[in-house]
Amino acid sequence: MEEERVSKLMARRGLCSRREAEQYMAEGRVRVNGNLITEQGTKVPVDAKITLDQAGLQRLTIALNKPLGYVSNLPQENYPEAKELILPENRFDKGPPVDPKSLHVVGRLDVNSKGLILFSSDGRVAKKIIGPDSEVEKEYIVRFLDPIPEGVIQKLRFGLKLDGKPLKRALVKRAGDRALTIVLREGRNRQIRRMCELVGLRVSSLKRVRIGNIQLGSLPVGQWMVVK
């Protein structure tokens, strides 16, 4: 019978992320067919019954208004990580401190882009938003150095390819002479910037303002809040 790592099975079933699964195994919270599993590399049948002890688990998701100059999660020389802003004094909605070590970024935002970014300790949230089958919308306001020719808007909506693969249909609306609102249902690497390059548009600023039903709203730059 086909076997698979317990952590990968748990992530695929939406129980948690693979990293969280490894942590829970180390804490003695994972059982497979009733047997306690503590070794991270353990493989089990793909149809095995997996149970997770929920006692003491904290599932938390926060929204941060990322400033320019911060990286999402991949350390780069001379650039700080956005997670470093998750400090008690930066909490917008007021409440107890949060341990950023338990949080993982959900959806990248490059160092030259700003706006809404999510961090979560709940693997189910990550799977819903950035999983391979995700249809969750991400909305951006994009500004350009030059006026936008009318003909390129339709090209951005549908028909472009990146890395040889067609893009899903995007919602693109004019937001001014040099600005567009773009809504995506996927998240290729630097997707919007690369789309704009393909149609000859030069981006001057890119800001994410919504992920699913979570709005950036009036959250100040550099501050964060818990998502209910």
Burial readout 125-149 (b: 16 or more C-beta within 10 A, e: otherwise): bbbbbbeeebebebbbbbebeeebe
> Which residue has tokens 């690497």?
189
Nearest to 72 by CA among 129, 112, 42: 112
**What is the residue type of 116?**
L
> What is 162-175 written as a DSSP string?
ETTEEPPP-EEEEE
Q: How many CB atoms lie within 10 A of CB 72?
A: 19
Of 109, 102, 155, the residue nearest 129 (C-alpha): 109
Told to judge if 146 belongs to the known catalytic residues of this protein, a careful annotator would answer no
Tokens for 63?
């929204």
Catalytic position from the list 47, 110, 163, 177: 110
* Active site positions, annotated: 110
